[in-house]
Structure 1
Amino acid sequence: MSANERRDFIYRHIHENQIAYYDELASLMNVSHMTIRRDATLLEREGKVLRVNGGVRLSEFLHQELPWQEKSYLNHKIKKELGQCAMRRIAEGTIIYLDAGTTTFEIACCIPANFRLTVVTNDFSITQLLMNNPAIDLFHVGGRVDKRNYSCVGLSAANFIKALNIDLAFLSASSWDLKHGISTPYEGKAEVKQTVISVANRSILISDSSKYGKYGFYSVCPLNTVDEIITDSVSKECKQTLSNLTSPKVTFVDIL
């Protein structure tokens, strides 16, 4: 395993487990503690992780997202439960927007074959999944292709969305918290999300709690700009804080 492959492995592992310990990483990759510590030091210099006692954790400031394929394996059970919860908010015959993301992909997986719906998305994986559903009138927004995230972003995508009237938009997020609201490391994504919110009658942030407490360089909007947040149980303290919000409504999905 090369140095770059090791650091990619460490970064993926932390995304999945929130924290990674040197002993565990050395065993998983069959390398020395010194090698792991050097990799961790470099990742910290890049701003991706923070060193803690005996290991590393994700930095609150999110420099970069994992590619779509790698994100799809993380917290998959949680994302499926969130997708099922979201599906209960969709009325037949309406126009919905599914933002690019592995959690919104799970919403698409829940749509019944005979459920009449208009779906707008910037996600190629969602488009491919729904392509053969005869009950769905399907629109892909087009624009500049983000190859890491299997989606279209930027001004061209946003301009397509501006011409639409959307009943219900489901937004994904790689980072969100009370102070910074919804944010992203990528300008092109922020532009698309902001436009979707502006044309949607109702918007819902759907995101697993591993994304909570982090923020990216580009601000999308304050949390109270959306109408609802669907997430799983965050820490007790954070759950209490979010539960006390008057806006937006927060729905916590219990994962069995």
Structure 2
Amino acid sequence: MIPEQRRDFIYRYVHEKNVASFNELAELMNVSHMTVRRDILALEEEGKVVLINGGIKLNNLLKLELPWREKAELNHDVKRKMGELAAMLIEPGQTIYLDAGTSIFEVAKAVAASNCFNLTVVTNDFSISHYLMDMPHITLYHTGGLVEKRNRSCLGKSAANFLSTINIDVAFISSSSWDLERGMSTPDEGKASVKEMVLQVSKRRVLVSDSSKFGKYAMFHICALSQLTDIICDTALPDDACQTLAAQNLKLHLVSTEREQNHA
């Protein structure tokens, strides 16, 4: 692998595992420890990772999200279960919003496979709109707006303006960074304006995000978690976070992780 490929691999790997040692990275890529250290120093200078004793961890300050295709490969089993659970919250005849992202793509797949008819789906995600295009029981709207090629979606003022004209029954919202103190956030200002508008026009506001995204934060604040009505996550979410969220006026829905099933 050339340096850029190695650094992409390291960043993807630590996105999934949260921490990684120098030894395992050297072994996985079949390179020397010195090569791994050079790559890690470059990633640290970009603010993507933080050095710890014997290895690295993902920087809690999220500066750049992974591209759509790479995110789709991470925690897929959990995302599929979250999507199936999310689809159970929908009733026939409702207008729902499906945010951009690979977790919400699994919601779209579950919605398409359900017996929930006469749905209207609004989305800013091209992968979702393409998937739902031929579903006869779904009326489909795309927000339009500035095309963000990296994540196959539209964002910015134009997308937000379209959403301001819609009344949404249930919004399924994605986030790559959320925590108890800072709420939901994003490294992209254009995404923030879209999500903020969705929160304003939606009756039920559901965050769909696995536990690997919890504890992260980014530059642009979207909302406090108290502005949500539901959170769909997995059982690897820390116990203290579950207790705090349960004490707030929202519903916490958790799906089991693959690790738990293997130990069952």
Aligned length, in residue pairs: 255
**Is the CA contact (8 Å cut-off) linking 2:186 and 2:218 kept in structure 1?**
yes
Aligned residue for 2:150, secondary structure, equals coil
Residue 136 (1) aligns with residue 104 (2):
no
For 1:235, the equivalent position in structure 2 comes to: 238
Aligned residue for 1:42, secondary structure, equals helix
For 2:58, the equivalent position in structure 1 comes to: 58
Q: How does 1:62-211 map to 2 (within 5 A)?
A: 62-111=62-111, 112=113, 115-211=117-213
TM-score by length of 1: 0.96
Q: Cα distance, 1:109 vs. partner?
A: 0.5
For 1:213, the equivalent position in structure 2 comes to: 215
| 201 and 239 in structure 1: CA distance in 2 versus 1, 3 angstrom threshold | closer
Q: Distance in 1 between matches of 2:190 and 2:109?
A: 26
For 1:226, the equivalent position in structure 2 comes to: 228
Percent identical = 53
For 2:18, the equivalent position in structure 1 comes to: 18
Q: Which amino acid aligns with 2:126?
A: F
Q: Distance in 1 between matches of 2:241 and 2:201?
A: 30
Aligned residue for 1:148, secondary structure, equals helix
**Is the CA contact (8 Å cut-off) linking 2:175 and 2:184 kept in structure 1?**
yes
Q: Distance in 1 between matches of 2:89 and 2:102?
A: 19
Q: Distance in 2 between matches of 1:251 and 1:135?
A: 27
1:169-205 deviations in Å (ceiling 9; x for gaps): 0100010001110000000000000001101111111
1:217-239 deviations in Å (ceiling 9; x for gaps): 00001110111111102123333
Q: Cα distance, 1:113 vs. partner?
A: 6.4
Which deviates more, 95-104 or 226-235? 226-235
**Is the CA contact (8 Å cut-off) linking 2:87 and 2:114 kept in structure 1?**
no
**Is the CA contact (8 Å cut-off) linking 1:48 and 1:63 kept in structure 2?**
yes
**Is the CA contact (8 Å cut-off) linking 1:99 and 1:171 kept in structure 2?**
yes
**Is the CA contact (8 Å cut-off) linking 1:113 and 1:135 kept in structure 2?**
no
Q: Which runs of 5+ in 2 are unaligned?
A: none
Q: Which amino acid aligns with 2:231?
A: I
Q: Which consecutive aligned stretches of 4+ in structure 1 deviate over 6 angstroms post-superposition?
A: none
Q: Distance in 1 between matches of 2:114 and 2:24?
A: 44
**Is the CA contact (8 Å cut-off) linking 1:113 and 1:134 kept in structure 2?**
no
Q: Distance in 2 between matches of 1:109 and 1:225?
A: 26
Q: Which amino acid aligns with 2:232?
A: I
TM-score by length of 2: 0.94
Q: Distance in 1 between matches of 2:160 and 2:218?
A: 20
For 1:38, the equivalent position in structure 2 comes to: 38
Aligned residue for 1:167, secondary structure, equals strand
Q: Distance in 1 between matches of 2:95 and 2:241?
A: 33
Q: Which runs of 5+ in 1 are unaligned?
A: none
1:22-52 deviations in Å (ceiling 9; x for gaps): 1111111111101111111121121111111
Q: Cα distance, 1:248 vs. partner?
A: 2.4
Q: Which amino acid aligns with 1:246?
A: Q
After superposition, the CA RMSD in angstroms is: 1.2
